[in-house]
């Protein structure tokens, strides 16, 4: 669950662009793609309307990019369109697990203990100067993989959460720059994973493991992640059984959302 090595990215180019699943929900009806048949037999009119919609959708993302001092290139057009078309709650597959325990105090959930089975994940490691930059660049690469840039030629589907593996120093006061962003392959692709066209994306089989998870809301950045890691560590009864410097941040929606749903996972040693 931990890839070695850290290939530096081009932080000046990627900036802090927050392209993610829930951002696509904010596209207005006028900016979303009109995929329905108009039924008027005027193919030229329909084509022109679709081209305008597609251009408006890319322009929408380019506007977002400019606010984060990045350029959204035209090669993101098709992935953005596909994610927009398929970004509905009923289309999102959750990573399966079995709850095997929890700890509460005064109705507050301190943590939930879960069993995750062996599974394949698509992973990409980035090494930007800021955590936010690394997850954005990593997610954009995974977005292309999900959207047909794979050996199957298929749109693979949206799964949640998108997770990032982070490492800290011994005192858990600093995150290392290496960040791995990972996408759980939907159940139908677990036996035969489509291969990515991007050489920086690796298909990894993560072993079955036990995770101690704690939810938290809000933005995810280096400060908030370190705070949540140390908070969960304080609630654990036997932290020595768990990995001490490697943790997972699980995200269920948009990094820019004001009340974002996240979790910190501690992984039990084999």
Residue 265 neighbours by CB under 8 Å, 6+ apart = 163, 211, 212, 213, 247, 248, 249, 250
* 99 found inside a domain: yes
Per-residue pLDDT tens digits for 91-119: 899 999 999 999 999 889 999 999 999 99
* 4 found inside a domain: no
Q: Does residue 39 register a pLDDT over 50?
A: no
Pair 168, 245: CB distance under 8 Å: yes
Range of the domain at 119: 91-268
26: Cα separation from own chain's centroid: 17
User: DSSP class of residue 221?
Assistant: S
Per-residue pLDDT tens digits for 52-72: 455 677 787 667 655 554 556
What predicted TM-score, i.e. pTM, was given to this entire model? 0.79
Pair 155, 138: CB distance under 8 Å: no
C-alpha–C-alpha distance, residues 80 and 56, integer Å: 12
Looking up tokens 């047909």 gives 148
Residue 15's pLDDT is 36
> Do residue 156 and residue 70 come from a single domain?
no
> Do residue 143 and residue 73 come from a single domain?
no
Q: How many domains does the chain have?
A: 2
Q: Does residue 121 register a pLDDT over 60?
A: yes
User: CATH number, domain at 117?
Assistant: 3.20.80.10
> In which band, very low, low, confident or very high, does the pLDDT at 138 lie, cut at 50, 70 and 90?
confident
> In which band, very low, low, confident or very high, does the pLDDT at 18 lie, cut at 50, 70 and 90?
very low
């Amino acid at each position: 669950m931990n890839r070695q090595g850290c290939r530096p990215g081009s932080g000046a180019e990627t900036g802090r662009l927050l392209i993610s699943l829930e951002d696509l929900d904010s596209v207005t009806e006028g900016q979303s793609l009109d995929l329905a048949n108009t039924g008027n037999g005027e193919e030229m009119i329909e084509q022109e309307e679709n081209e305008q919609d597609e251009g408006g959708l890319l322009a929408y993302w380019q506007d977002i990019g400019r606010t984060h001092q990045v350029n959204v290139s035209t090669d993101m057009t098709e992935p953005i369109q596909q994610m927009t078309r398929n970004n509905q709650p009923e289309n999102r597959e959750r990573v399966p697990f079995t709850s095997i325990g929890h700890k509460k105090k005064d109705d507050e959930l301190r943590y939930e203990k879960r069993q995750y089975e062996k599974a394949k994940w698509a992973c990409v490691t980035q090494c930007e100067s800021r955590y936010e930059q690394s997850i954005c660049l990593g997610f954009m690469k995974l977005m292309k993989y999900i959207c047909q840039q794979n050996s199957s030629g298929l749109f693979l589907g949206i799964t949640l959460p998108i997770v990032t593996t982070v490492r800290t120093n011994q005192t858990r006061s600093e995150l290392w720059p290496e960040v791995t962003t990972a996408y759980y392959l939907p159940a139908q692709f677990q036996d035969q994973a489509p291969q990515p066209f991007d050489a920086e994306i690796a298909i990894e089989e993560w072993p079955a493991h036990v995770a101690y998870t704690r939810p938290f809301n809000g933005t995810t950045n280096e400060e908030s992640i370190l705070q949540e890691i140390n908070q969960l560590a304080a609630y654990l009864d036997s932290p020595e059984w768990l990995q001490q410097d490697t943790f997972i941040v699980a995200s269920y929606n948009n990094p820019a959302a004001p009340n974002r749903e996240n979790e910190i996972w501690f992984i039990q040693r084999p």
